[in-house]
Amino acid sequence: MPDGGGGRRYPRMARVNELLREVIAEELELLSDTDERLLMVTVTAVHADADLSRAKVMLSSLPPGADEALEEHRVPIQRAINRQVRLKRTPQLSFGADLAVESGKRVEEILRDLRTGEGGADAGG
């Protein structure tokens, strides 16, 4: 029964993904001071492969120009990960919009429409 005193609350890859998310978010915040294409970019999650060869960075939105800016800054962000995080290897990053955020916005829109249409729908039935 190895416990090491700390007791792990969640799996290693979940901890690695969260650590990568924090470092990448911090780096993007610093980069947004000099590259305004990154101003409205928010990291929602990171999904790294088990062998740490690649990591997909999920973003809440990708404003115009953000794709190019992220690709331009990919290597410096990876360098920052290498400096700040002790891992067997630094994953190659790829960036994409978080579809869950878009789905959530759509659900909110549907609920809002249902609420505004509720008053008239109950009157007839």
Q: 10: pLDDT confidence band, cut at 50, 70 and 90?
A: low
In angstroms, what CA-CA distances link 21 with 63, 85, 115?
19, 11, 36
Which domains does the chain possess? 12-120 (3.30.300.20)
39-62: average pLDDT: 91
> What confidence tens digit (pLDDT) does each residue in 62-100 have?
888 898 999 999 999 999 999 999 988 999 999 988 877
Q: 123: pLDDT confidence band, cut at 50, 70 and 90?
A: very low
State pTM to two decimals: 0.74
CA angle 94, 99, 104 (to 5 degrees): 145
How high is the pLDDT of residue 64? 84
Strand 43-48 to strand 54-59: parallel, antiparallel, or no bridges (unpaired)? antiparallel
pLDDT > 70: percent of the chain: 85
